[in-house]
Amino acid sequence: MLTITLKPGKEKSLLRRHPWIFPTAIDRIEGKPEEKNKPGATVLVRAADGRFLARAAYSPKSQIRARAWSFDENEPVDHALIKRRVKHALAYRMAAVRDTDAIRLIFGEADGFPGLVVDWYAGRDGYLVCQFQSAGVEAWKTAIVQALIAETGCPNVYERSDASVREREGLPLVTGPLAGREPDGETVVTENGVRYAVDIKTGHKTGFYIDQRDNRRLVMEQAAGRDVLNCFCYTGGFSLAALKGGAQSVVSIDSSGEALAIGERNVALNGFDATKAAWWDADVFKTLRALREQGKSFDLIVLDPPKFAAAPDQVERAARAYKDINLIGLQLLRAGGLLFTYSCSGAISADLFQKIVAGAANDARVDARILRRLSAGADHPMTTSFPEGEYLKGLMLHKP
C-alpha cells in the first residue's frame, strides 16, 4: 500500500482527528509508481517516527493531498466500512430530523465520507442525489451507490457532480443517472407541511437548500399578519414558509428567472393565495436601494445571499457586501420587525458575521436585539474535529 510519512510535528492535526493532509506536511510518499498516480488510492499515513496516524484517500492533483477515512489502525477501507457509515448516517437522520422528506443523508467529513454529499428527496419512490467532490469518494462511487440503495430502499440515484470544487481535484464535471429511474420533471417534497417542487437535474446544487429547513420553520412561526420581504429567495423556500404561517404579503427577489418560476408554481402547488405573493426578477443590491428611496417598509425581512466569500482572500469584499444589505435591511424594517440574516461563507466565522451585522446596525442607528443565533439543521452535523463543516450561520434580530 502507498505510504505517506509526514514531516516531524506535522501529525498534530491528524491526532486531533482533522481529516485533511496538505502537501506542506508531507515528507515522502512511498509505493509503486502506478499507485502514486492513482486518484483515490488508499494510503497509509504515518508520523515522522513511524507511528500509524490514519488511512486516507490519496488525491495526487488536489491541494488537499489526502483525506482521512479512518484514524483506527484496525479499520480497513473496504465495502463494509462504506456500508457501516451509510447505515449510521441514516440512523442518525431518522432520529434527528422530522417533518420533512428532503434530508441531507450524507454531509461529507461529518459522516466519515470526505467530499461526499447525498441528499434524499421524496422517500423510497424519490431520489438520492449525490455530489462526489473528492478523489476518494469518486473511487468508491459504485460501492457507495450500492450501499445507499440497500440502506434506504430507494433505487433511484442521480449524480450532480457539477460543482467547480471537482476541478481542483482534477475530476471532470459530470451529471446523470447512476441507478434506477431518471428524474422526469420536478420532484415534490414536503417540509413542515409545505410542498416544494425540486428540480434535481438543473436546480442549484442538488436542487433545494435543505440546510435552511429549521430557519424556514422559524419564519413560518413568526409570519402571521406580517408584510414579508425575502431577498435571494431562490425557489421561495422562506416565502412559502411565510405564506403557510399566514403572512399578509410576501415580496420575493432573485436574479434567477427559472428559480422564481418554480417559486410561483410552489404557491399554486400549496393552494396559497397568489395575490399575496410577488416575485421580482431583480438584483437585490439595487432593489433594496430603490425600496429605501420609495420609503417602503416591511415587518419581516430574510437575507439569505449566496456565498459572498469563496476563499479567505475574499473576506474583506464579502464583509462589505454583507454589511451593505444588512444596513439597508434594518432601515427597511418597521419598529417591532424581525430580520433573519445569513451567511453561508465558510471563510466568515459566526463571530465575524455578528460583528459585520453589528456594524450595519450601528450605521443604521438600530439597537437590534439578537433573539437567536442560527445554523443549519441537524442533518448537517457540526463535529468537534472539523470546524469547516460549520458554514451556515445566521441571526434572528428584533428592531425595537
SS3 content of the chain, % helix, strand, coil (to 5): 35, 30, 35
Cβ-based nearer residue to ligand SAH, 53 or 332: 332
Annotated active-site residue in 130, 154, 231, 344: 344
Residues 292-321 that bind ligand SAH (CB under 6 A): 304-306
Distance CA 368, CA 356 (A): 13
Distance CA 124, CA 101 (A): 10
Closest distance of CB 336 from ligand SAH, Å: 23
Cβ-based nearer residue to ligand SAH, 4 or 291: 291
Interface with ligand SAH (CB under 6 A), residue from 69, 121, 127, 234:
234
Interface with ligand SAH (CB under 6 A), residue from 256, 297, 331, 385:
256
Taking CB atoms, the residue at the shortest distance from ligand SAH is 237
Cβ-based nearer residue to ligand SAH, 138 or 254: 254
| Cell, residue 263 | 417559486
Cβ-based nearer residue to ligand SAH, 234 or 386: 234
Q: Which residues contact 61 (CB under 8 A, 6 or more apart)?
A: 39, 135, 168, 169, 170
- What are the two backbone dihedrals, phi and then psi, of residue 377, each rounded to the nearest 5 degrees? -70, 175
Contact map string, positions 32 to 71, toward ligand SAH, x by CB under 6 A: ----------------------------------------
Residues 270-289 that bind ligand SAH (CB under 6 A): 283-285
| Cell, residue 343 | 451567511
Q: Please confirm, yes or no, whether 233 is among the known catalytic residues.
A: no
Distance CA 324, CA 331 (A): 11
Closest distance of CB 18 from ligand SAH, Å: 29
Size of the site for ligand SAH (CB under 6 A): 19
Closest distance of CB 282 from ligand SAH, Å: 7
Stretch that binds ligand SAH, among 51-59, 248-256, 265-273, 322-330 (CB under 6 A): 248-256
Q: Residue 205, by phi and psi: left (phi above 0), alpha (psi -120 to 50) or beta?
A: left
Q: Does 237 bind ligand SAH (CB under 6 A)?
A: yes
Cβ-based nearer residue to ligand SAH, 169 or 186: 186
Count Cα atoms within 13 angstroms, Cβ side, for 230.
30
Stretch that binds ligand SAH, among 163-171, 253-261, 360-368, 378-386 (CB under 6 A): 253-261
Closest distance of CB 274 from ligand SAH, Å: 19
Residues 180-219 that bind ligand SAH (CB under 6 A): 209, 212
Task: Quote the DSSP letter at residue 385.
Answer: S
Residues 69-128 that bind ligand SAH (CB under 6 A): none
Stretch that binds ligand SAH, among 2-10, 114-122, 161-169, 251-259 (CB under 6 A): 251-259
Closest distance of CB 192 from ligand SAH, Å: 12
Q: Which residues contact 19 (CB under 8 A, 6 or more apart)?
A: 54, 56, 67, 68, 109, 114, 385, 386
* 3-state secondary structure at position 206: coil
Q: Does 391 bind ligand SAH (CB under 6 A)?
A: no
Distance CA 384, CA 221 (A): 31
Task: Quote the DSSP letter at residue 63.
Answer: S
Q: Does 238 bind ligand SAH (CB under 6 A)?
A: yes
Distance CA 240, CA 228 (A): 11
What dihedral angle (degrees, nearest 10) is formed by the CA atoms of 111, 158, 82, 124? 90
Closest distance of CB 268 from ligand SAH, Å: 18
Strands ordered across the beta sheet of 369-375:
277-281, 249-254, 227-231, 298-303, 333-343, 393-398, 369-375
Q: Which residues are catalytic?
A: 344
Where do contacts with ligand SAH occur on this chain (CB under 6 A)?
A: 209, 212, 232-235, 237-238, 253-256, 259, 283-285, 304-306
